[in-house]
């Protein structure tokens, strides 16, 4: 990406955060007004609560606005962007919709209501701690977390004493992760459930707020932990790398982006004692590239811990492009097309040189929701695969 494109990409995301309330208003409030005004008076009288609920939705949108605007204005400076929203590029519908889903992701990773969803993080850390029981020695254990979303698992891995690097390629996520990891030292209220009207049991459920907080956020971050473990330099243990997993951590042969940092990639060769993939594997368009990348950046004695479903993200993506084969021949390719079954994936992992050390059986699989309202009358539940591999 050149500088102008990068500026455009970044500022349109900041605009999505800054003007999110306007989009919420258009999505939620406007259609309700039109519908209500189109009802004959006798039908309106049958819904005496309707206008008050719309007012409550407006108030909740305003609370979200306080938060999302604060995030945009706080984090733009970190990215070297001027604090003047009127000069930023406009956000599109997809950008706004991603902010909507990030409010739910905030609930998952940092919200008081997200505890149950975060059990999967605990499970992964538990396995890591089993392998590295000596807390003081963990600062020498490099852990990579690709597709780390809003950074909670990275943060928890550091709290357990490891040197952790999060990797994420979405600006929408990176901006909020930066806020949560570095600036959220007091509680914020958000309303993440406003946007769904189907399967709602009570209006109050839709309006309820979630409190998000990172107790250790802000500059004084890990002070309490440092008192308990004075020999562990918590403040130095966390880092984030922005960019595509395969570009940043894979072998040169996988690089799709000619401007990606070759030197950074070279330093990652056999660098990590552990790679933790949480709800990440199925984001691959080509799972073989992800596996090659894990094999490349993992130390020979290292472990790969995976937890997540096989909901292949590109299954419905027919976008095509061209790719150059090692022979030099250019051929068309497509985003979808490598959605493997569990059995075929397991075989592939073994064929690529990994050994399974532990794996949940079908009956043991973790069943969980993902960034959703647990009080809805109907929810998508994920049946997660869990395994530990060595190579
Ligand atoms: C389903 S989310 C999981 C987030 C987090 N690990 C969790 O469990 O809540 C997948 C994340 O991977 C990121 N992602 C997808 N493909 C990626 C890639 N090739 N490189 C880096 N990040 C990627 C997405 O932006 C998204 O934040």
Q: How far apart are CA 141 and CA 386, in angstroms?
A: 22
DSSP SS3 for 242: strand
Q: Which of 95, 107, 149, 281 is the pocket-test mutation for ligand 1 (most atoms within 8 Å of CB)?
A: 149
CB of 167 closer than 6 A to ligand 1?
A: yes
Separation in Å, CA 20 to CA 72, 199, 207, 356, 363: 10, 24, 17, 45, 42
For the chain, 391 residues long, the average pLDDT of each consecutive 10-residue run is 88 98 98 98 98 98 98 96 97 98 98 96 98 97 98 96 98 98 93 97 97 76 84 94 96 70 90 98 98 97 97 96 91 96 98 97 92 96 96 92
CB of 279 closer than 6 A to ligand 1?
A: yes
CA of 161 to the centre of ligand 1 (A): 23
CA of 244 to the centre of ligand 1 (A): 10
- Residue 37 bridge partners (DSSP): none
153 found inside a domain: yes
Question: Please, are residues 22 and 153 in contact by the beta-carbon 8 Å criterion?
Answer: no
The pLDDT score that the predictor gives to residue 255 is: 66
CB of 306 closer than 6 A to ligand 1?
A: no
CA of 280 to the centre of ligand 1 (A): 5
Q: Residues 255, 256, 258, 262: what is their CA dihedral angle, to the nearest 10 degrees?
A: -20
Question: Please, are residues 212 and 180 in contact by the beta-carbon 8 Å criterion?
Answer: yes
Q: How far apart are CA 234 and CA 389, in angstroms?
A: 27
305 found inside a domain: yes
Angle at 318 between CA 315 and CA 324, to 5 degrees: 105
201 found inside a domain: yes
161 found inside a domain: yes
Residue ID of nearest Cα to ligand 1 atom 27:
149
CA of 300 to the centre of ligand 1 (A): 25
Residue ID of nearest Cα to ligand 1 atom 24:
147
Q: Which of 280, 286, 317 is the pocket-test mutation for ligand 1 (most atoms within 8 Å of CB)?
A: 280
CB of 170 closer than 6 A to ligand 1?
A: yes
The pLDDT score that the predictor gives to residue 185 is: 84
The pLDDT score that the predictor gives to residue 224 is: 81
Per the structure block, which two tokens stand in for 277? Answer: 């993939």
Residue ID of nearest Cα to ligand 1 atom 9:
149
Instruction: Locate the ligand 1 atom nearest the alpha carbon of residue 244 and give its number.
Output: 20
> H helices of 90-242, where?
93-110, 119-131, 152-159, 171-182, 203-207, 223-228
174 closest CA partner among 78, 63, 251, 56: 78
Question: Please, are residues 108 and 114 in contact by the beta-carbon 8 Å criterion?
Answer: yes
With tokens 């150059």, the residue in question is: 324
CA of 334 to the centre of ligand 1 (A): 20
Separation in Å, CA 195 to CA 39, 163, 191, 207, 211: 23, 38, 9, 10, 18
Instruction: Locate the ligand 1 atom nearest the alpha carbon of residue 370 and give its number.
Output: 9
Q: Is the dihedral of CA 86, 87, 92, 95 positive or negative?
A: negative
Strand spans (E) along 251-317: 272-278, 298-308
CB of 283 closer than 6 A to ligand 1?
A: yes
64 found inside a domain: no
Domain coverage including residue 351: 114-390
CB of 168 closer than 6 A to ligand 1?
A: yes
CA of 311 to the centre of ligand 1 (A): 13
Q: Residues 139, 141, 147, 148: what is their CA dihedral angle, to the nearest 10 degrees?
A: -20
51 found inside a domain: no
Q: How far apart are CA 233 and CA 383, in angstroms?
A: 37
Instruction: Locate the ligand 1 atom nearest the alpha carbon of residue 248 and give its number.
Output: 20
Total count of domains within the chain? 1
17 closest CA partner among 77, 81, 80, 99: 99
144 found inside a domain: yes
10 found inside a domain: no
- Residue 348 bridge partners (DSSP): none
* Phi, psi values for residue 314, rounded to 5°: -100, 10
Angle at 128 between CA 265 and CA 171, to 5 degrees: 45
Q: For position 314, which CATH number holds?
A: 3.40.50.150
Question: Please, are residues 318 and 335 in contact by the beta-carbon 8 Å criterion?
Answer: yes
The pLDDT score that the predictor gives to residue 256 is: 60
């Amino acid at each position: 990406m050149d500088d102008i494109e990068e500026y455009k990409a970044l500022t349109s995301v900041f605009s999505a955060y800054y003007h999110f309330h306007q989009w919420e208003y258009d999505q939620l409030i406007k259609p309700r007004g039109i519908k209500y005004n189109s009802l004959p008076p006798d039908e309106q009288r049958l819904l005496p609560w309707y206008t008050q609920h719309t007012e409550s939705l407006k108030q909740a949108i305003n609370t979200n606005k306080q938060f999302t605007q604060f995030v945009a204005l706080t984090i733009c400076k970190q990215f070297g962007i001027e604090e003047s929203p009127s000069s930023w590029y406009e956000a599109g519908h997809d950008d706004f919709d991603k902010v909507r889903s990030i409010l739910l992701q905030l609930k998952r990773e940092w919200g008081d209501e997200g505890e149950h969803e975060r059990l999967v993080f605990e499970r992964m850390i538990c396995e890591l701690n089993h392998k590295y029981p000596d807390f003081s020695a963990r600062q020498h254990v490099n852990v990579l977390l690709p597709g780390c979303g809003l950074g909670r698992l990275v943060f928890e891995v550091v709290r357990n004493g490891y040197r952790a690097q999060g990797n994420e390629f979405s600006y929408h996520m990176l901006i909020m992760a930066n806020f949560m990891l570095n600036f959220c030292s007091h509680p914020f209220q958000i309303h993440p459930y406003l946007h769904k009207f189907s399967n709602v049991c009570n209006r109050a459920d839709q309006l309820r707020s979630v409190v998000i907080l990172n107790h250790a956020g802000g500059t004084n971050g890990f002070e309490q932990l440092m008192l308990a473990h004075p020999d562990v330099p918590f403040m130095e243990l966390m880092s984030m790398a922005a960019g595509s997993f395969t570009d940043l951590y894979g072998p040169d042969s996988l690089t799709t982006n000619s401007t990606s940092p070759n030197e950074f990639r070279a330093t990652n060769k056999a660098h990590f004692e552990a790679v933790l993939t949480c709800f990440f594997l199925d984001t691959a368009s080509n799972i073989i590239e992800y596996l090659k990348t894990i094999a490349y950046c993992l130390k020979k004695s290292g472990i790969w811990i995976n937890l997540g479903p096989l909901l292949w993200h590109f299954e419905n993506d027919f976008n095509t492009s061209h790719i150059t084969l090692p022979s030099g021949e250019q051929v068309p390719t497509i985003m979808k097309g490598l959605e493997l079954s569990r059995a075929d994936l397991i075989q592939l992992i073994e064929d690529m040189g990994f050994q399974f050390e532990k794996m949940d059986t079908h009956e043991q699989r973790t069943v969980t929701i993902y960034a959703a309202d647990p009080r809805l009358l109907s929810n998508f539940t994920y049946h997660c695969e869990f395994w530990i591999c060595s190579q």
